[in-house]
Amino acid sequence: MIQPSILYGLFLITLVGLYWTFPSKQFRLWMLLIGSLVFYASLPTAQYIPLLLVLTVLNFVLGRVLGAPLDWRIPNEAWQYAQADWNRKRTWLLTLGVVLNVILLLGFKYVSPSLSMLGFNSLVEGPLAAWIMPLGLSFFTFECIAYLVDIYRGSPASTSLVEFSTYKLFFPKLISGPITRYHSFSGQLKSVNFPPVSQNVEGLWLIAVGAVKKLLLADNIGQLVNLSAESLPRAGSGDIWLLAFAYGLQLYFDFSGYVDVARGSALLLGFNLPQNFNFPYFSTSIADFWRRWHMTLGEWLRNYLYFPLGGSRRSITRTCINLMIVMLIAGVWHGDQWGFIVWGAIHGLALIVHRLNGALGEKIPFIEKLWLSPPGLLLAWALTQFTVFFSWIFFRLPNLGDASLAMRHLFGHRADIQFAQKVYLDSAGLSRPQIFLLLSAVMGCMAVAYAMQKGMKLQISWPIKMLLLPLCCYLAWVLAPDMAAPFIYFDF
């Protein structure tokens, strides 16, 4: 049962109907929890439900211990020493919780691939053959770490295991986010009410738009990307650049489509999940890109990695080191192949250049004014997007052998004549220039939407959205490929 699909639609309609039938808050909590378990049980990694439940209970207990106050009966003269001792114990408890979560994630994510790389193929193909990573474990773990750190920093711990379990296993966000902090979610639990018509329409609209992004755009673009990657030795320079451009669009529509469906499903149940994308391909700096792309991951990296490392509070050298460390860790999180490390290093280097440019602009105001001028903004946008789309090559081709072949053929390399026939004409019935113009038109439509929402502050009213809903669903159903591809971020 993968969203968007007919089966998922039937599941969502049934759950929403049962959820709003009874006014009891406790009943609704149990309905969400049971519904989330049913949803996860329909996935290929359903055997890991006990593991997720154990992790949920473990982090709940750790949170309760971390958030426990000191005994008020301690005499005043001993209070200072007791406080210092308790703070040390809390630090050890936090470290234990973070380490346990990280070890579990790394174990599933890297042990099996690492054994294969070391030559233990018989072990990987035998006892560990079924040891695939549970869907959603990365996002599940990140939320657990954020919860424990927030408790350590002074936020109240959850007092209800059912409420905490409902938060952790909430099905719309369980597999690929958005990463949601507990206290934001629990605050909504306490005041959830039946949504008005406008909110229901907005939820359905997000689901429909997500279906269009995923089925109509991402999956069709993905067929081109997959064929190009499979025929990489025959590709020319223009083909590789088109591959990077197409994959950037595919990744955006695929992941943002999932998040739209997740947010729309949550709205129908009275919850507002955080936004995860905000027109990232129109950002004018790499820092701005990370404030718009996978926004909840960027926030997590800032709050739980960058700031604890010192952020930008220290010297410019230390700030640059912190930026590189954070992005290298982001690369490692995405996968065990070197291409992801290179992708993270490219973004880390770009962030360092941006930070150094900002420091230079503080000393030389002319430079700052130059970047804020219309030509400067256009150049900044072009440089930012070139960096982003160039880095996608290593993201799509994480094997360094494939990535190095692409790098060698980036400029001045002619394609095998069979490449265009197989990849463009036979599969899409279009030539490379026509495909490029079609993808550029998609970017143009995004630019129009961006200008309407951010520039002119225009929004589509809910009655119009309601009228457009059948059209969106029809287009997604009719123009989607025969076989829907899995969401890309399920691999991470």
Q: What positions carry a catalytic annotation? A: 334
Spatial distance between the Cα atoms of 211 and 229, rounded to a whole number of angstroms:
25
- In angstroms, what CA-CA distances link 220 with 259, 364, 435? 19, 48, 12
Angle at CA 172, nearest 5°, toward 59 and 465? Answer: 150
Q: State phi, psi for 481 to the nearest 5 degrees.
A: -60, 165
- In angstroms, what CA-CA distances link 42 with 46, 168, 229, 415? 7, 18, 31, 44
> Closest Cα partner for 209 from 446, 385, 7, 46?
446
- In angstroms, what CA-CA distances link 340 with 107, 392, 394, 452? 18, 9, 6, 35
List the beta strands (DSSP E) in 343-386: none
Tokens read off for 420: 């265009």
Asked whether the beta carbons of 462 and 200 are under 8 A apart, the reply is: no
Asked whether the beta carbons of 334 and 318 are under 8 A apart, the reply is: no
The count of residues in the chain is 492
Asked whether the beta carbons of 352 and 324 are under 8 A apart, the reply is: yes
> Closest Cα partner for 358 from 298, 290, 286, 289?
286
